[in-house]
Amino acid sequence: MSSDLANNDFKELVRSRTDLVALVGESVALTPSRGGAEFKCLCPFHDDHTPSLVVYPDRQSFRCWACSTGGDCFTWVQEFDKVEFREALETLAKRAGLEMPTYAGRRQENAVAKTDVLDVLAWAENEFHQCLLNSQMAAPAREYLKERGFTAETIAKFKLGFAPNDGQWLIARGRGKFPHEPMETARLIKKSDEGNGYYQFFRNRVLFPIRNDKGRCVSFGGRVLPQFAQPGVGKYINGLESDVYSKSNLLFAFDAAREGIRKTGTAVIVEGYTDALISHQFDVTNVVGVCGTALTQAHVDRLKRFAPRIVLMFDGDEAGQNAAEKALANYLSENIDLRVLVLPDDQDPDEFLFAHGAEEFRRQIHNAAEAWDFKLQTEVNRHGLESIDARHRVLTSMLELLAKVPKLRGSVKEDVILNRLASRTLLSEQVVRQRLAEARSSRPEGSKGALPNHNVAAAGTPHRGPETTARTMSAPSEGLGHKSHRVDSAPANRSLCFLDRSLSKGDLMECELLEIIFTDPATLDEIRREIGDEDFYNEQTRAVLQVCFDLLDHDETPTFDRIIAVIEDAALKRLIVWIDEQARKKEISAKLKDNLTVFNGASAPSYLAQTLEPIRFRRAEQQHQRNTGRLAQQPDARAGLNSNAKALLEQATAFHQKRAAKATLP
Ligand SMILES: [Zn+2]
């Protein structure tokens, strides 16, 4: 996430003291419209002749429907003064008569707090660990870990813990030892909404301590016990970022894995805490986990210093496939040997280890496919290579990916890739090169760089240079027209949002669901029972959905205000303001009110069910495609179908029935 969920106090104070209408009115002439529900003005960000920019007082947001610049009060100052976020914050603080916390003062404060925070975390880690080992309350947790195959040695080595289902447990134990402040800064406790009390953040969860490079506990990952799992509540909850913990930097178990990574020259990245720890238990010690976030540039940079080879071990489901694809686009131009491994039969690393042992696991890691070949094989499985048409489809999706990595242009690596692509698709290298040139030129000017990764692009929000000239861009139209929305000449440096290119049908599906969430945050519980963030394929809409889920995990209602407050990335801000505006134009609140339907055993708005359905269908469709690909790969048909292939066939049949049913709908 581009900003820390909780480190927002000063920013929020400034926002609450700023009225966007007054702020905008200081620079341009505003005219009330719709009885004062909106204000309009000539947009200062493009050559505007009709008032195109709208300010929404109720949302404290603005958006230009012609050039799609939009956001909140901070965005306004950033865009208008052409400054970065920090300066905009200063400007608005001054305007509101608030004193900026000084940098020197803050640093000193933090220096004191940091050691306190680490001390309190070390103490809490020990309390949770002792609780797991000895307390009657932790009996189900001990049982669970035993079932998952954790040995007492692993539990002790990684100091796993248990947080009892009592919001006051840790606070009571810390009384007289620690004041509330460092415990709160460590994100161990939280102020309750009602009043002045505090409660414990992790409750009724098995805890996996997350450590920094020096082996000190900085946060926890918490897993709910299966018998207490509830729909709509995340199985895992990740600690909030704090002064001592940044998700995009830290890798789980890195302190224990560093030596193994160096020795083997290979870093293996898995998704789960359990997968990482069980690997270590089997003495495969070069394995680290990502802590509930995507792989970031900071992770890659860190690992690169210890090993030339990085193996991404992903689940075989689409979340894994998407993650692999994203990593490939982001790191293709890096000087690393990037590999992707999906274990046979879609087994999780820990399942695989218990079934086949460490030797076989190491062999799999050793033979992991190069990331590029993995993607190519995925596309071949998806489309086949039988017809010219299929081969061109494979080629197109590979080249689209390649076109996203401008750094590769003209490199030796590119030559090798194109050569292999040509021989695999049985097309001439000349054709392949020609098509790559086309793919490159069809990408909008501004998006030739990689899209901003919200995990990486943190504080430094790109902004337009002073040379900005008028741009012509058709606004994303109302409704769902599949028009092309190309930026003809976006200034370099501007943070890009996918509104700058044409929206695919999938993008629109995801935006429509976000419209519902922005209109009625209470629907998010229902939504989360049906889909996860991995069901959103667009990186930016997914980032927004993740923010909503994060807020929910931290007992906050994901209202539009909170969402825009948490997001700092300018492109994401533009996106959510646009979605919010769409929601109002389409009168989503009215649509949610009429026509209830029985959905998932409860009564829910039909509109919600209708919007969720295509996303669920897409997931089923993807699963089907992958199964078909795998069936085609089944090695020996003469030996008869093995049980796995049979299961795949059954799933395929079920999908065909589902698709047929869909086709016959009115
Ligand atoms: Zn404009």
Residue 493 pLDDT more than 50? no
The model carries a pTM of 0.59
pLDDT digits (tens, 9 = 90+) for 98-122: 887 754 334 444 444 567 888 899 9
SS3 293: coil
297 domain-assigned = yes
95 domain-assigned = no
Cα of 229 to ligand 1 centre, how many Å?
Answer: 47
Cα of 4 to ligand 1 centre, how many Å?
Answer: 30
More confident residue, 604 or 1: 604
Cα of 68 to ligand 1 centre, how many Å?
Answer: 6
Q: What is the pLDDT of residue 275?
A: 93
Cα of first residue to Cα of last residue in the chain, in angstroms, is 42
Phi, psi of 308 (to 5 degrees): -80, -15
Antiparallel, parallel or unpaired: β 596-599 and 602-605: antiparallel
Cα of 219 to ligand 1 centre, how many Å?
Answer: 43
Q: Are residues 63 and 38 in the same domain?
A: yes
Q: Count CB neighbours of 363 within 10 A.
A: 10
Q: Are residues 369 and 388 in the same domain?
A: no
- Among the listed residues 238, 54, 223, 74, the one whose alpha carbon sits nearest the alpha carbon of residue 572: 74
What value does the mean pLDDT of the chain take? Answer: 80
Cα of 471 to ligand 1 centre, how many Å?
Answer: 9
Burial class (CB within 10 angstroms; exposed 0-12, middle 13-18, buried 19+) of 601: exposed
Cα of 456 to ligand 1 centre, how many Å?
Answer: 28
Confidence band for 643, pLDDT divided at 50, 70 and 90: low
Rounded to 10°, the helix 73-81/9-16 angle is 90
> The CATH number of the domain where 162 resides is what?
3.90.980.10
More confident residue, 197 or 149: 149
Q: Are residues 411 and 466 in the same domain?
A: no
Confidence band for 158, pLDDT divided at 50, 70 and 90: very high
> The CATH number of the domain where 265 resides is what?
3.40.1360.10
| Strand ranges across the sheet with 309-313 | 251-252, 287-290, 266-270, 309-313, 337-341, 369-370
Cα of 531 to ligand 1 centre, how many Å?
Answer: 35
Q: How many domains does the chain have?
A: 5
Cα of 589 to ligand 1 centre, how many Å?
Answer: 27
Q: Are residues 541 and 437 in the same domain?
A: no
Confidence band for 42, pLDDT divided at 50, 70 and 90: very high
Cα of 51 to ligand 1 centre, how many Å?
Answer: 9
Q: Are residues 390 and 417 in the same domain?
A: yes
Q: Give every CB contact of residue 170 below 8 A, 6+ residues apart in sequence.
A: 124, 127, 163, 183, 188, 189, 200
259 domain-assigned = yes
Q: Please, are residues 135 and 162 in contact by the beta-carbon 8 Å criterion?
A: yes
Cα of 467 to ligand 1 centre, how many Å?
Answer: 16
Q: What is the DSSP letter of 664?
A: T
Cα of 333 to ligand 1 centre, how many Å?
Answer: 35
Q: Give every CB contact of residue 617 below 8 A, 6+ residues apart in sequence.
A: 658, 662
Cα of 486 to ligand 1 centre, how many Å?
Answer: 15
- Which helix (H) or strand (E) segment holds residue 161: the answer is strand 161-163
Q: What is the pLDDT of residue 274?
A: 93
Residue 363 pLDDT more than 90? yes
Burial class (CB within 10 angstroms; exposed 0-12, middle 13-18, buried 19+) of 135: middle
Cα of 69 to ligand 1 centre, how many Å?
Answer: 6
Cα of 473 to ligand 1 centre, how many Å?
Answer: 9
Residue 633 pLDDT more than 80? no
Q: Are residues 137 and 174 in the same domain?
A: yes
Tokens of 609: 């069910």
Cα of 149 to ligand 1 centre, how many Å?
Answer: 59
Residue 544 pLDDT more than 60? yes
More confident residue, 537 or 510: 510
pLDDT digits (tens, 9 = 90+) for 228-252: 887 767 778 888 888 888 877 889 9
Cα of 25 to ligand 1 centre, how many Å?
Answer: 16
pLDDT digits (tens, 9 = 90+) for 439-490: 887 654 433 333 333 332 222 333 333 322 232 223 333 332 222 322 233 3
636 domain-assigned = yes
Q: Are residues 589 and 602 in the same domain?
A: no
Q: Are residues 370 and 288 in the same domain?
A: yes
Q: Could you give the percent of the chain with pLDDT greater than 70?
A: 82
553 domain-assigned = yes
Confidence band for 145, pLDDT divided at 50, 70 and 90: very high
Cα of 389 to ligand 1 centre, how many Å?
Answer: 42
Among residues 347, 375, 403, the one where a domain terminates is 375
Distances, alpha carbon 635 to alpha carbons 317, 638, 643, 650, in Å: 21, 9, 13, 18
Among residues 238, 264, 291, the one where a domain terminates is 238
Q: What is the pLDDT of residue 502?
A: 61
Most confident of 300-309, 511-520, 656-665: 511-520
Cα of 514 to ligand 1 centre, how many Å?
Answer: 24
Cα of 313 to ligand 1 centre, how many Å?
Answer: 44
Cα of 64 to ligand 1 centre, how many Å?
Answer: 5
Among residues 448, 478, 496, the one where a domain terminates is 448
93 domain-assigned = no
Q: Are residues 504 and 534 in the same domain?
A: yes
Q: Give every CB contact of residue 21 below 8 A, 6+ residues apart in sequence.
A: 30, 39, 55, 57
Residue 606 pLDDT more than 70? yes
- CA 262, chain centre distance (Å): 29
**DSSP characters over 535-583:** G--SHHHHHHHHHHHHHHHTT----HHHHHHH---HHHHHHHHHHHHHH
Q: Are residues 118 and 211 in the same domain?
A: yes
SS3 per residue for 218-278? EEEEEEECHHHCCCCCCCEEECCCECCECCCCCEECHHHHHHHHHHHCEEEEECCHHHHHH
Q: Are residues 600 and 655 in the same domain?
A: yes
Cα of 586 to ligand 1 centre, how many Å?
Answer: 22
Q: Domain range for residue 576?
A: 9-84+459-593
90 domain-assigned = no
495 domain-assigned = yes
Q: Are residues 107 and 55 in the same domain?
A: no
More confident residue, 83 or 633: 83
